[in-house]
């Protein structure tokens, strides 16, 4: 063990020497340099045509100090980002070069978005000063219909915070804390909690129906998978709805490519033959969005039908580790007829879920389904993977359970070369089993005294109608209860999740944007903390400009399994921006509260605490502090702390931007197999379910869904197929005759390279690189007379939006791909959105669980006969001051 830690230390020391060599220039402190003028200078340097080491102004782009800089968005990856600072000006960016790149010790390289970060931070459309809407009036809102189109007036911080505090005080007196809706803002939450509370939101956003496996029934808490080295032991990787090349930037696609090169075969189940499948030479099985459960039932039926001849099912495995597969393994007290196998065979409902039955629902050929059944058989080593996308569908509540069950049928859990798991975001192709203990800021939780939480899918209706269905928090259901709610203030406070960059779902990213705008024009007061003129800011009365992570003390990220990314401050706050926490403190003061009660320790101390408490779990699973901290460090930082021995000196970690662990196929982490302990000894290590096994039949899930009182869909203990009402089945007016309805196409939202959700959409370089078209299949385009590049209008009852067409053979006919996150841009004359905002089309529909169906929406589309769209790169930025 000591040897291993020694090796880690040595690697750090080596890269430290390289680092010092590379950045021989002075380490002049930047903090004193006001960078208000920095934006212009950076632009000159960036847009220069000159060679790589000389800026257009002749500036030498080699000398200076490389500083670790944040790339903090919720982007599916987490990478090292460095900026070259010269005389206080950021002139260049680079990524991880702390060591040679290898499979054993990969660099944590950034993507195009991260490398364009300076164009976001130093953008001309940064919010620079507090401002108020010209026709806003205190306490009444003034002309509220002008929200989103009004002019802006610059005001002082004192004025702005006084206005906000007065609105809050007024609403607290008149209606109480429940009237304040605050869907996001880790820092402002603390101030509002101290002030009496606020109404909060929750959502299944990323994971969709995967939420129902995380904590309940099946015991797949977080769906354990295997380490990346183990994947070489597999014959097949079967991928449902996975596009790491777009949505898991960083190393996952590269890890997958190593598997392909080693001879592992890939099968892709997806409406889109995406770039990842192309890279991996995957065999493509096209399916309609939301139809995966149907396809998998066809696979299960085929496995049962062909088991006698081919020996596909591992019966011992099923009976030992799962309950509810067949009549003999049903839990005590349950009706034996409700077992999964008899459901698949159609024993009692008269509908055998054959490959042909599945084809009618999913669109995949019966031969492809039969082939997949053979692949899933027990003779093969299979990693059955899905990203989250196929879970973000209404009526697909039972897809994750059916997915897991098919994996269990072939015995693909808990053994080398086999796993059944979500493979998504930064842990795609490398199970998320942690190698680190995250550092803690030292801020104790400050709970909200109010328990009102509105599901994002219901939020806008709730505010318009004055009532909502309270079901507790996503993942932790309480029985559905209709409550009155009377929202007067919307406070968009920024990001959630105990760390930056995690999901909130703002006006832009919640379903039903047109209804959201109506709500924003109804309530008494809207305030937003933002650094860029995002959709929340646009539809507000008062906007408070905040710093980006580049202008803050620093933070620690441990989203990457094998690396801890640390970054510090790049520059002082631009213009009049303040950190979210500073805003929360100053507002607390205006509200007559003591800001120290909300934030008893400084932002610097919080950063230090994170670094000091981060630990590597060594090969025995024992936490080893990462940072070596001396008394001199503590004194230099001016914080409280205790010296400690770690694996890398504190300042070196921050200078490098990363502490990463060299790996090898023989290390203890490589042997990490999901659920191995349970498989080895299911009695000693039971699953946290009633039966102690994987529960294919789950009364917990049935009761949970039944308790919501939502009507669309069934609450069932047996995982069953449900027609997708906002998907393929719903696209027909008459399913029997196959007569199409008014909205015959399924639109879904691929997470897109140009952006991290809506973030980065204002960055010119990225607009230049990625056009944000709408993907249309060649067949549908032919039928509609649409050519590549034509402006297309997409519509349904929720709204209308425009995009240029990208006509492709890689998309299944009947399916339309509208990338996620385009900034809404409503033409007030026509009501049509020119920004291709996905949530213009996503409605406030849900099903029995309350899941949000981003990838199940119905639309029609046509060639647009109005003025064609200009390319996004031509669109001017909105610079207010």
Contacting residues toward Mo ion, per CB under 5 A: 206
| Residue 113 touching ligand SF4 (CB under 6 A) | yes
Site string for ligand SF4, 27-66 (x = CB under 6 A): ----------------------------------------
**Residue 551 near which of ligand SF4, ligand MGD, Mo ion, none (CB within 5-8 Å, type-dependent):** none
| Residue 757 touching ligand SF4 (CB under 6 A) | no
| Residue 625 touching ligand MGD (CB under 6 A) | no
Query: How many Å apart are CA 776 and CA 747, to the nearest integer?
Result: 10
Query: How many Å apart are CA 764 and CA 4, to the nearest integer?
Result: 46
Specify the stretch interacting with ligand SF4 by CB under 6 A; choose among 8-16, 47-55, 69-77, 413-421: 69-77
Query: How many Å apart are CA 181 and CA 459, to the nearest integer?
Result: 10
Question: What is the closest distance, in whole angstroms, from the C-beta atom of residue 573 to ligand SF4 in the complex?
Answer: 21
Query: How many Å apart are CA 362 and CA 286, to the nearest integer?
Result: 8
Contacts with 626 (C-beta within 8 Å, 6 or more apart), sequence order: 436, 564, 611, 614, 615, 616, 646, 647, 648, 653, 659
Question: What is the closest distance, in whole angstroms, from the C-beta atom of residue 505 to ligand MGD in the complex?
Answer: 5
Residue (of 832, 760, 816) closest to 76 by Cα position: 760
| Residue 855 touching ligand SF4 (CB under 6 A) | no
Query: How many Å apart are CA 831 and CA 827, to the nearest integer?
Result: 5
Question: Where on the phi/psi map is residue 823: left (φ > 0), alpha (ψ -120 to 50), or beta?
Answer: beta
Site string for ligand MGD, 420-439 (x = CB under 6 A): ----xx--------------
Instruction: Output DSSP code: residue 443.
Output: P
Listing DSSP states for 762-806 in one string gives T-HHHHHH----EEEEHHHHHHHT--TT-EEEEEETTEEEEEEEE
Question: Are 499 and 558 a contacting pair, CB within 8 Å?
Answer: no
Q: How far apart are the first and last CA of the chain?
A: 58
Cβ proximity to ligand MGD: between 486 and 503 the closer is 503
**Residue 609 near which of ligand SF4, ligand MGD, Mo ion, none (CB within 5-8 Å, type-dependent):** none
Residues 700-739 that bind ligand SF4 (CB under 6 A): none
Phi, psi of 29 (to 5 degrees): -65, 135
Can you name the residues that pair with 268 across neighbouring β-strands?
239, 284
Question: What is the closest distance, in whole angstroms, from the C-beta atom of residue 639 to ligand SF4 in the complex?
Answer: 27
Residues 51-90 that bind ligand MGD (CB under 6 A): 73-76
| Residue 249 touching ligand SF4 (CB under 6 A) | yes
| Residue 202 touching ligand MGD (CB under 6 A) | no
Cβ proximity to ligand SF4: between 119 and 844 the closer is 119
**Residue 70 near which of Mo ion, ligand SF4, ligand MGD, none (CB within 5-8 Å, type-dependent):** none
Cβ proximity to ligand SF4: between 368 and 563 the closer is 563
Cβ proximity to ligand MGD: between 85 and 287 the closer is 287
Structure tokens at 10: 């040595």
Distance from CA of residue 322 to its chain's centroid?
31
Q: Which helix (H) or strand (E) holds 455?
A: strand 453-455
| Residue 241 touching ligand MGD (CB under 6 A) | yes
| Binder among 8, 38, 69, 79 for ligand SF4 (CB under 6 A) | 79
Structure tokens at 835: 């920004």
What is the number of alpha carbons within 13 Å of residue 235 lying toward its C-beta? 10
| Residue 673 touching ligand SF4 (CB under 6 A) | no
Specify the stretch interacting with ligand SF4 by CB under 6 A; choose among 70-78, 127-135, 373-381, 467-475: 70-78
| Residue 161 touching ligand MGD (CB under 6 A) | no
Cα Rg of the chain (Å, integer): 27
Residue ranges of E strands in 103-246: 131-133, 152-154, 180-184, 200-202, 236-240
Question: What is the closest distance, in whole angstroms, from the C-beta atom of residue 243 to ligand MGD in the complex?
Answer: 4
| Binder among 110, 494, 799, 835 for ligand MGD (CB under 6 A) | 494
| Residue 71 touching ligand SF4 (CB under 6 A) | yes
Listing DSSP states for 271-305 in one string gives SB--HHHHHTTPEEE---TT-HHHHHHHHHHHHHH
Residue (of 426, 423, 424, 430) closest to 80 by Cα position: 426
Question: Where on the phi/psi map is residue 100: left (φ > 0), alpha (ψ -120 to 50), or beta?
Answer: beta
| Residue 259 touching ligand SF4 (CB under 6 A) | no
| Binder among 110, 197, 244, 363 for ligand SF4 (CB under 6 A) | 110
Using the structure block, give the residue that is written with the tokens 């970060």: 117
Cβ proximity to ligand MGD: between 400 and 821 the closer is 821
Question: Are 457 and 852 a contacting pair, CB within 8 Å?
Answer: yes
**Residue 839 near which of Mo ion, ligand MGD, ligand SF4, none (CB within 5-8 Å, type-dependent):** ligand MGD
| Binder among 250, 252, 625, 821 for ligand SF4 (CB under 6 A) | 250
Specify the stretch interacting with ligand SF4 by CB under 6 A; choose among 107-115, 466-474, 477-485, 537-545: 107-115
| Binder among 122, 216, 246, 256 for ligand MGD (CB under 6 A) | 246
Residues 810-839 that bind ligand MGD (CB under 6 A): 820-821, 838-839
Phi, psi of 274 (to 5 degrees): -85, 180
Cβ proximity to ligand MGD: between 287 and 629 the closer is 287
| Residue 584 touching ligand MGD (CB under 6 A) | no
Question: What is the closest distance, in whole angstroms, from the C-beta atom of residue 646 to ligand MGD in the complex?
Answer: 28
Residue (of 294, 293, 226, 292) closest to 264 by Cα position: 226
| Residue 803 touching ligand MGD (CB under 6 A) | no
Residues 849-868 that bind ligand MGD (CB under 6 A): 854-855
Tell me which residue has its CB nearest to ligand SF4: 114
**Residue 79 near which of ligand MGD, Mo ion, ligand SF4, none (CB within 5-8 Å, type-dependent):** ligand SF4
Angle at 114 between CA 108 and CA 115, to 5 degrees: 95
| Binder among 243, 323, 430, 613 for ligand MGD (CB under 6 A) | 243
Structure tokens at 273: 């033959």
Following CA atoms 494, 496, 502, 505 in sequence, which dihedral angle do they give, to the nearest 10 degrees? Answer: -70
Specify the stretch interacting with ligand MGD by CB under 6 A; choose among 61-69, 161-169, 517-525, 755-763: 755-763
Could you tell me how many residues of this chain bind ligand MGD (CB under 6 A)? 60
Query: How many Å apart are CA 487 and CA 201, to the nearest integer?
Result: 13
Residues 331-390 that bind ligand MGD (CB under 6 A): 387-390
| Residue 46 touching ligand MGD (CB under 6 A) | no
**Residue 751 near which of Mo ion, ligand SF4, ligand MGD, none (CB within 5-8 Å, type-dependent):** ligand MGD
Following CA atoms 453, 455, 461, 463 in sequence, which dihedral angle do they give, to the nearest 10 degrees? Answer: 20
Query: How many Å apart are CA 855 and CA 389, to the nearest integer?
Result: 7
Question: Are 402 and 300 a contacting pair, CB within 8 Å?
Answer: yes
Question: What is the closest distance, in whole angstroms, from the C-beta atom of residue 388 to Mo ion in the complex?
Answer: 7
Residue (of 607, 674, 662, 600) closest to 638 by Cα position: 607
Could you tell me how many residues of this chain bind ligand SF4 (CB under 6 A)? 13
Structure tokens at 459: 């939020």
Query: How many Å apart are CA 223 and CA 227, to the nearest integer?
Result: 13
Question: What is the closest distance, in whole angstroms, from the C-beta atom of residue 275 to ligand SF4 in the complex?
Answer: 15
**Residue 110 near which of ligand MGD, Mo ion, ligand SF4, none (CB within 5-8 Å, type-dependent):** ligand SF4
List interacting residues with ligand SF4 (CB under 6 A): 71, 73, 75, 77-79, 110-111, 113-114, 249-250, 756
List interacting residues with ligand MGD (CB under 6 A): 73-76, 205-206, 240-243, 246-247, 269-272, 274, 287, 289-290, 292, 387-390, 393, 424-425, 494-495, 500, 503-506, 509, 529-530, 532, 534, 546, 580, 748-753, 755-759, 820-821, 838-839, 842, 854-855
């Amino acid at each position: 063990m000591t040897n291993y830690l020694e090796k880690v230390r040595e690697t750090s020391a080596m890269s430290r020497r390289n680092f010092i060599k590379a950045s021989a220039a002075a380490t002049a402190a930047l903090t004193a340099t006001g960078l208000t003028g920095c934006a212009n200078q950076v632009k000159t340097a960036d847009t220069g045509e000159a060679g790589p080491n000389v800026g257009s102004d002749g500036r030498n782009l080699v000398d200076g100090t490389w500083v670790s800089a944040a790339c903090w968005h919720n982007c599916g990856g987490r990478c090292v980002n460095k900026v070259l600072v010269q005389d206080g000006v950021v002139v260049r960016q680079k990524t991880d070069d702390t060591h040679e790149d290898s499979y054993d010790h990969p660099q944590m390289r950034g993507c195009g978005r991260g490398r364009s970060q300076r164009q976001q931070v130093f953008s001309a459309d940064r919010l620079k000063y507090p401002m108020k809407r010209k026709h806003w009036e205190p306490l009444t809102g003034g002309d509220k219909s002008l929200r989103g189109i009004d002019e802006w007036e610059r005001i002082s911080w004192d004025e702005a915070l006084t206005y906000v505090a007065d609105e809050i005080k007024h609403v607290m007196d008149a209606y109480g804390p429940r009237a304040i809706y605050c869907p996001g803002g880790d820092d402002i939450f603390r101030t509002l909690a101290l002030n009496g509370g606020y109404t909060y939101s929750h959502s299944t956003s990323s994971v969709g129906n995967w939420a129902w496996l995380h904590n309940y029934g099946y015991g797949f808490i977080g769906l354990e998978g295997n380490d990346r080295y183990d994947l070489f032991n597999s014959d097949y990787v079967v991928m449902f709805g996975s596009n790491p090349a777009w949505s898991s930037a960083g190393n996952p696609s590269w890890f997958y490519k190593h598997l392909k090169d080693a001879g592992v075969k890939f099968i892709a189940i997806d409406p889109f033959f995406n770039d990842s499948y192309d890279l991996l030479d995957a065999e493509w099985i096209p399916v309609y969005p939301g139809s995966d459960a149907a396809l998998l039932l066809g696979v299960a039926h085929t496995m049962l039908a062909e088991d006698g001849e081919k020996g596909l099912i591992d019966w011992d495995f099923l009976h030992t580790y799962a309950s509810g597969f067949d009549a003999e393994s049903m839990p005590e007290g349950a009706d034996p007829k409700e077992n999964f196998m008899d459901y698949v065979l159609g024993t009692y409902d008269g509908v055998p879920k054959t490959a042909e039955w599945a084809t009618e629902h999913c669109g995949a050929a019966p031969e492809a389904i039969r082939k997949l059944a053979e692949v899933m058989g027990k003779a093969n080593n299979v990693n059955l993977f899905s990203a989250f996308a196929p879970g973000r569908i209404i009526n697909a509540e039972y897809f994750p359970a059916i997915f897991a069950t098919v994996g269990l049928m072939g015995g693909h859990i808990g053994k080398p070369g086999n796993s059944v798991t979500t493979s998504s975001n930064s842990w795609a192709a490398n199970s998320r089993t942690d190698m680190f203990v995250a550092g803690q800021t030292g801020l104790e939780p400050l709970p909200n005294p109010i328990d009102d939480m509105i599901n994002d899918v219901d939020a806008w209706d709730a505010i318009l109608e004055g009532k909502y269905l309270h079901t507790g928090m996503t993942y932790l259901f309480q029985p559905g209860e209709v409550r009155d709610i009377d929202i007067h203030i919307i406070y968009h406070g920024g990001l959630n999740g105990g760390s930056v960059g995690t999901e909130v779902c703002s006006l832009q990213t919640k379903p039903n944007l047109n209804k959201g705008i109506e709500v924003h024009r109804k309530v008494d007061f809207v305030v937003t903390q933002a650094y860029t003129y995002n959709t929340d800011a646009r539809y507000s009365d008062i906007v408070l400009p905040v710093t980006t992570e580049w202008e803050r003390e620093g933070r620690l990220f441990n989203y990457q399994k094998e690396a801890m990314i640390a970054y510090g401050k790049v520059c002082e706050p631009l213009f009049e921006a303040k950190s979210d926490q500073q805003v929360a403190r100053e507002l607390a003061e205006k509200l007559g509260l003591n800001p120290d009660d909300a934030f008893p320790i400084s932002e610097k101390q919080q950063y230090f605490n994170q670094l000091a408490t981060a630990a590597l779990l060594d090969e025995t699973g024992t936490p080893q502090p990462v940072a070596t901290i001396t008394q001199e460090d503590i004194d230099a930082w001016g914080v409280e702390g205790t010296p400690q021995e770690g694996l890398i000196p504190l300042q070196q970690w921050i200078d490098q931007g990363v502490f990463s662990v060299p790996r090898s196929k023989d290390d203890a982490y490589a042997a990490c197999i999901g659920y191995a302990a349970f498989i080895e000894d299911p009695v000693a290590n039971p699953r946290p379910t009633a039966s102690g096994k994987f529960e294919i039949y789950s009364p917990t899930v049935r009761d949970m869904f039944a308790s919501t009182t939502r009507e669309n869909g069934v609450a069932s203990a047996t995982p069953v197929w449900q027609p997708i009402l906002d998907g393929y089945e719903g696209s027909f007016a008459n399913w029997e005759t196959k007569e199409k309805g008014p909205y015959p196409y399924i639109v879904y939202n691929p997470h897109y390279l140009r952006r991290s959700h809506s973030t980065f959409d204002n960055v010119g370089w990225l607009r230049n690189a990625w056009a944000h078209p709408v993907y249309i299949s060649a067949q549908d385009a032919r039928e509609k007379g649409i050519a590549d590049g034509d402006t297309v209008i997409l519509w349904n009852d929720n709204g209308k939006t425009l995009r240029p067409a990208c006509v492709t053979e890689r998309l299944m006919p009947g399916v339309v791909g509208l990338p996620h996150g385009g900034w809404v841009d409503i033409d007030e004359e026509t009501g049509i959105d020119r920004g291709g905002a996905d949530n213009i089309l996503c409605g406030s529909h849900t099903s029995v669980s309350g899941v949000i169906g981003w990838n199940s929406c119905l639309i029609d589309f046509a060639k647009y006969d109005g003025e064609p769209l200009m390319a996004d790169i031509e669109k001017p930025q909105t610079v207010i001051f």
